[in-house]
Structure 1
Amino acid sequence: MNFATFDLNLLRVLDAIFREGSTVKAAARLGLSQSAVSGSLSRLRHALGDPLFVRQGNRLVATDYAAGLRDPVRQELERIEAMLSPVARFDPKTAEGTFRIAASDFFAEMLMPRLGELLLQKAPGIRAQLIDLVPQDYVASLERRNADLALIPDTTLPDWVRREELFRSPFHVIARRGNPGVEGLESGQVMPIDVFCTLHHVLFSPEGNIAAMGDAALAELGRQRRVAMTVPVFSGVCRVVRESDLIALVPAQLAADVSDAFGLQVFEPPMPIDPPLIIGTWHRRSDKAPLARWMRDQVFGLLRRLDL
């Protein structure tokens, strides 16, 4: 390949095909015709000496050679974009824009009210939106530009995702006051394991799973609990517990926040559960974007106060 005559615009086409798996969708993403994208793919194949993609059903699947180009091409395009983007002075009082946060509804209770007040006082022209995480793929929202920030449990991440450690979230057990299954128990004490395993549970699970971290911890003790239902949002879990004799494991910060309003007792779980580390993640393309950087700083400052 003669790099001096290579059209660098072809790399934008290659990246779009990687993202979309289709010349039609890549064309829509780039604002080009499908024939123009197909022509560019033909030129890429000739220049690089590789088919790059093979058709599998309705999708184009990358060859081994092309798969090795996916991340380097994306990173170089983002580096060039950042290099050429003007650095503007950012004033939150006059700034306007939207910042999208992908997270569970735990953050609707523990973040958004405080963030709303902060923005009203410091940046009234910025709109914050809390959106659902992509099920079973925490970072997909960042890649598709649906979210500017994802708040997730610590996990292995691809190189293009930045991360910031925020707080640890231990679990507590909640039960309604007057639940006969916890009669004689005082809030704050460890719930006896026999009580915990005998009572029916409502489990937070957006995917409808019937086991979670608490079950793995119980299994190490040779015990198991009785999951009677699953609910995809924490607010629903708390309401079920308030209106029934079911109990639940929920983040300690949430339990403390809603216990009085919902009439709940809060107990320590009978088995040790490693508190998950919650992190903030974002696409490296927005590292230096003024609005996104300012919003991350505000959100992270609010969330670090939750560390127990």
Structure 2
Amino acid sequence: MRLANVDLNLLVTLQALLRERSVTRAAARLGVSQPAVSAALGRLRRHFDDELLTRVGNSYVLTPLAAQLVERTDLAVTNVRQVFSAQPHFDPAVSEREFVVAMSDYSLTMLGDALSGLVEERAPGVRLHIQQLVSADVNHAAEALRTLDAMVLPHGFLRDLPCLDLYTDDWVCLVSADNERVGEKLTPDLLAELSWVFTFHRPTAYTPADWKMRALGIEPNVRVVAEWFVALPLLVRGTDRIALIQRGLVDRLDGMDGLRVLECPFEPDPLVMALWWHPMNSHDPAHRWLRGMVAEAAERVG
């Protein structure tokens, strides 16, 4: 197939049809007439030799081929936009570009306020889209970073990708103030006896402190798993549970009444937080500006 023979306008229509699964909704999304989208769907069906959308009752469903095309189409549209939005210079004062950065709720708590404030101040037309960092992004970071501008993640998970160190944090233990099993200090034996609240608990989703604890022979009794760090106080308060939490997050969270923060009875490796991106963005002037904004926000963390 020769790319020169393909109408790239069909790519945007294909994305809308795959996402909306309706000619009417796709037309509304694109801001064009329904007959125009119907005609484009006909061209797409001839190109792929596939119906793409088939009626089941009162709605349409994707064919197996169309289901395969959803993520590929999103990636293709993103890449095309990046190609045609590239400029030799970036002027944040007049730009209307959108930057998509993936963060955990912890990173958002630490950086979000400063970063959003800086972007609004320096680039009033720029949109900052902060989305939840999920395990799939980390497991397939090189692919995810083709559509994300960057992700904030500690060292220890990714390699062979460019990054910028932001700040360092460490771990402490969180227990309820009325937990009578815990005295003034924690011991390794007590860590093995107590019930734990973990953030992430899968082979490819864990925190460095979790790994260090197991490496020391401490096997935690995990009773609750939550994929939000800011939920830890709610899940520990008034129980016999214990959790590992970042010291910086403790300093920024409200609602810490009824809780005690104790030093770990082992030395967890510190968190070295970093901004990661795809090499294709390394020399993009707009992306360099974004990295500068994140770095400046990180300077305010301390």
Q: TM-score, normalised by structure 1?
A: 0.63
* 1:34 Cα deviation from its structure 2 partner: 7.8
**What one-letter code is carried by the residue in structure 2 that aligns with 1:193?**
P
Q: What is the aligned-residue identity percentage?
A: 23
Q: In 2, Cα distance between the equivalents of 1:193 and 1:232? A: 25
| Kept in 2: contact 1:102–1:141 (CA 8 A) | no
Give the aligned partner of residue 164 of structure 2.
164
C-alpha distance 203-88 of structure 1, shift in aligned 2 (>3 A): same
C-alpha distance 182-172 of structure 1, shift in aligned 2 (>3 A): same
**What one-letter code is carried by the residue in structure 2 that aligns with 1:141?**
A
**Are positions 1:127 and 2:130 aligned together?**
no
**Are positions 1:152 and 2:158 aligned together?**
no
Q: Number of paired residues?
A: 245
Give the aligned partner of residue 287 of structure 1.
282
1:300 to 287, 295, 298: 295
* 1:126 Cα deviation from its structure 2 partner: 2.1
* 1:174 Cα deviation from its structure 2 partner: 1.2
Secondary structure of residue in 1 paired with 2:267: coil
**What one-letter code is carried by the residue in structure 1 that aligns with 2:288?**
R
Q: In 2, Cα distance between the equivalents of 1:211 and 1:87? A: 40
Q: In 2, Cα distance between the equivalents of 1:149 and 1:229? A: 30
The CA RMSD over aligned residues, in Å, is 4.1
C-alpha distance 283-222 of structure 1, shift in aligned 2 (>3 A): closer
Q: TM-score, normalised by structure 2?
A: 0.64
**Are positions 1:200 and 2:201 aligned together?**
no
Give the aligned partner of residue 182 of structure 1.
182
Give the aligned partner of residue 231 of structure 1.
226
* 1:240 Cα deviation from its structure 2 partner: 1.0
C-alpha distance 90-254 of structure 1, shift in aligned 2 (>3 A): same
Give the aligned partner of residue 251 of structure 1.
246
- Once the two structures are superposed, residues 128-180 of structure 1 have per-residue CA deviations (whole angstroms, 9 ceiling, x without a partner) of 2221224244223212x1x211112224435xx42212233321111233332
Q: In 1, Cα distance between the equivalents of 2:239 and 2:166? A: 34
- Once the two structures are superposed, residues 203-246 of structure 1 have per-residue CA deviations (whole angstroms, 9 ceiling, x without a partner) of 00175989754444334443322211100111222321235332
Q: In 2, Cα distance between the equivalents of 1:207 and 1:35? A: 44
C-alpha distance 109-209 of structure 1, shift in aligned 2 (>3 A): same
C-alpha distance 151-9 of structure 1, shift in aligned 2 (>3 A): farther
Secondary structure of residue in 2 paired with 1:261: coil
Secondary structure of residue in 1 paired with 2:145: helix
Give the aligned partner of residue 141 of structure 1.
144
Structure 2: tracts of 5 or more residues without a match: 12-17, 19-39, 50-63, 67-78
Structure 1: tracts of 5 or more residues without a match: 1-6, 17-23, 25-30, 39-56, 60-76
| Kept in 1: contact 2:195–2:220 (CA 8 A) | yes
Q: In 2, Cα distance between the equivalents of 1:242 and 1:37? A: 57
| Kept in 2: contact 1:208–1:232 (CA 8 A) | no
Q: In 2, Cα distance between the equivalents of 1:271 and 1:105? A: 25
